[in-house]
Amino acid sequence: MEKIHIGLIGCGSISDAHLQAYASHPEVKLVAVCDLNLKRAEQVASQYQIEGIYEDYHQLLADPHIHAVSICTWNNSHAEISIAALHAGKHVLCEKPLCKTVEEARSVQQAVEQTGKVLQVGYVRRHATNIEVLKRFIDAGDLGDLYYAKASLIRRLGNPGGWFADQERSGGGPLIDIGVHVIDLCWYLMGKPKVISVSGNTYRKLGNRSQIQHYDYYQAADFDPSINTVEDMANAMIRFENGASLMVDVSFSLHARKDSAQIDVFGERGGAEIEPKLAIATERHNTIVNIDPQLTTPGFDFTDSFKREIHHFVQVCQGKVENLCPVEDGVEMIRILNAIYQSAKEGREISL
């Protein structure tokens, strides 16, 4: 079978996870990279032995030998590039979030429908091993109907700076950057119920805390401590038509004792802790029983999950499997995120 020729657009921090996964895939050939910073694109191309090097993504998309692209650019360019790639006849893996606005999201969906090409949204946590295992328990009815979930991703000092901290390019702070992951994951596991309302809060109290010394933290490829126009933290309550609900809180900057990740879902027959590691609680013979699945990696493994995500994308492009993260899910998540920001701004619950 002919290898799928991949072009990557945007050579910032997250691109390396895509590149490593593609480079190790036997049915893929990396043929082109593109970045506004041509020197950075050249460095990536040299590292991965990629021939095509571009500064303008339109030139990359004009190459008829490229079958599919990964879009790893600023959030405010996701829609524009995705639409152009689809109309250029390319399959698309677009990093989360799908875009910034609901209008943009619907335009991307329209382009998918018009072209018939694949668009997979980069919800990498859906592809984690622990989620695949838990989904089997859920689909078998072992947890019953899931009616409540809560998710918390807390960074004490974790504003990546650069475009992540620029409202215009990112669309927001921790809510749209890391909150999108956990909101999507809980919604997906709960069966993707219809959202009826959201109530949210955002706070800008601490800034990026770049004055902190003696503590290392993640910094974006274009880190600039002078940029910070996004929220420090956000929380929200999301209500669904079937009566289920989801609570979430996320932060870049917070006076917390430690960083933490806690994701849980609860059903009529059992519940599950997803982070920090998969564990299931249920009842057997009138006794509460804890089930600890024996997994090599019971929590979220960043590298392996990206490898599994890329493998899935390749299989979807080949027509072998159904798209686990279709554009419709990306549109719905943008509706939710935008409603949370609107709720925080207006100080009221937003009906959807």
At 30, the amino acid letter reads L
Domain identity same for 81 and 183:
no
pTM of this structure: 0.96
Q: What is the mean pLDDT of the chain?
A: 96
pLDDT at 141 over 90: yes
Residue 218: band (very low, low, confident or very high) from pLDDT cuts 50, 70, 90: confident
Rounded CA gap, 95 and 120, in Å? 9
* Cβ-contact 86, 63 below 8 angstroms: no
pLDDT at 1 over 70: no
Domain identity same for 42 and 64:
yes
Residue 158: band (very low, low, confident or very high) from pLDDT cuts 50, 70, 90: confident
In a domain, 321, yes or no: no
Average pLDDT over residues 103-129: 98
* Cβ-contact 248, 235 below 8 angstroms: yes
Domain identity same for 147 and 51:
no
Tens digit of each residue's pLDDT (9 = 90 or more) over 13-44: 899 999 999 999 999 999 999 999 999 999 99
In a domain, 312, yes or no: no
Residue 256, SS3? coil
Rounded CA gap, 264 and 276, in Å? 10
Domain identity same for 158 and 294:
yes
For position 203, which CATH number holds? 3.30.360.10
Provide the pLDDT for residue 188: 98
Domain identity same for 172 and 222:
yes
Rounded CA gap, 31 and 35, in Å? 14
Contacts of 177 (CB under 8 A, 6+ apart): 160, 164, 170, 252
Rounded CA gap, 79 and 268, in Å? 39
- Domain of residue 286: give its range: 126-301+326-351
Tens digit of each residue's pLDDT (9 = 90 or more) over 223-269: 887 888 999 999 999 999 999 999 999 999 999 999 999 999 999 99
Domain identity same for 77 and 215:
no
Contacts of 247 (CB under 8 A, 6+ apart): 149, 150, 151, 235, 236, 237, 238
Rounded CA gap, 176 and 97, in Å? 7
Instruction: Give the count of domains, the chain.
Output: 2
In a domain, 279, yes or no: yes
Q: CA torsion sign, 180 to 183 to 184 to 185?
A: positive
Give the tokens for residue 85. 């790639």
Provide the pLDDT for residue 193: 98
For position 8, which CATH number holds? 3.40.50.720
End-to-end alpha-carbon separation of the chain, Å?
A: 46
